[in-house]
Amino acid sequence: MVRPGNIWIYIGRRFLQAIPLLIGVIVVNFVIIHLAPGDPIQVLVGDMPAPPQYVAALRQEFGLDKPLYVQLMKYFQGVARGNLGYSFFYRQPVLSIILGRTAATVYLMLTSITLSAILGVAFGVLSSRKAYSLQDNFFSGISLIGYSLPVFWLGLIVLIVFSIKLDLFPVSGMISQRESYTGFRYALDVGYHLLLPALVLSTRFIALVSRITRSSMLEVMSEDYIITARAKGLNENKVLINHGFRNASLPIVTIVGLNIGFMLAGSVLVETVFGWPGIGRLMYDSISTRDYPMLMGILLVISVMVIIVNLLTDIAYGFLDPRVRYQ
CB atoms within 10 A of CB 61: 12
277 DSSP 8-state letter:
-
User: Rounded to an integer, what distance in angstroms lies between the CA atom of residue 230 and that of residue 274?
Assistant: 49
User: Rounded to an integer, what distance in angstroms lies between the CA atom of residue 256 and that of residue 236?
Assistant: 27
User: Are the CB atoms for 185 and 124 separated by under 8 Å?
Assistant: no
Cα atoms found within 13 Å of the Cα of residue 246, Cβ hemisphere only: 12
pLDDT in tens, the chain (327 residues): 345 456 677 677 777 877 888 888 888 888 887 777 766 776 666 666 777 777 777 777 777 778 888 888 888 888 888 888 888 788 888 889 998 888 888 889 889 988 888 898 888 888 887 778 888 888 888 888 888 888 889 999 999 999 899 888 888 888 887 777 788 888 898 889 999 999 999 998 898 888 888 888 888 877 777 777 778 777 777 777 777 777 777 777 777 777 777 777 778 888 888 988 888 888 888 887 778 888 888 888 888 887 777 777 777 766 666 555 555
Q: Please tell me the predicted confidence (pLDDT) of residue 1.
A: 38
Q: Is the dihedral of CA 169, 175, 180, 185 positive or negative?
A: positive
Q: Please tell me the predicted confidence (pLDDT) of residue 4.
A: 47
Q: Please tell me the predicted confidence (pLDDT) of residue 327.
A: 54
User: Rounded to an integer, what distance in angstroms lies between the CA atom of residue 263 and that of residue 311?
Assistant: 17
- Residue type at 289? T
User: Are the CB atoms for 210 and 123 separated by under 8 Å?
Assistant: yes
3-state class (DSSP) for residue 131: coil
User: Rounded to an integer, what distance in angstroms lies between the CA atom of residue 297 and that of residue 98?
Assistant: 8
93 DSSP 8-state letter:
B
Q: Please tell me the predicted confidence (pLDDT) of residue 326.
A: 56
CA distances to 39, 102, 297 from 59, in Å? 10, 29, 20
User: Are the CB atoms for 128 and 221 separated by under 8 Å?
Assistant: yes
CA distances to 140, 181, 198, 282 from 101, in Å? 37, 20, 16, 8
Q: For the chain, give every domain's residue range.
A: 6-37+84-326
With a CB cutoff of 8 Å and minimum separation 6, the contacts of 216 are: 124, 248, 249, 250, 251, 252
Q: What is the DSSP string of 15-77?
A: HHHHHHHHHHHHHHHHHHHHHSS--HHHHHH-SS---HHHHHHHHHHTTTTS-HHHHHHHHHH
Which of 119-158 are b and which e, b meaning 16 or more Cβ less than 10 Å from the residue's Cβ? Answer: bbbebbbbbbbeeeeeebeebbeebeebeeeebeebbeeb
User: Rounded to an integer, what distance in angstroms lies between the CA atom of residue 248 and that of residue 228?
Assistant: 17
Nearest to 98 by CA among 109, 84, 88: 84
User: Are the CB atoms for 109 and 278 separated by under 8 Å?
Assistant: no
User: What's the topology of domain 6-37+84-326?
Assistant: MetI-like fold (1.10.3720)
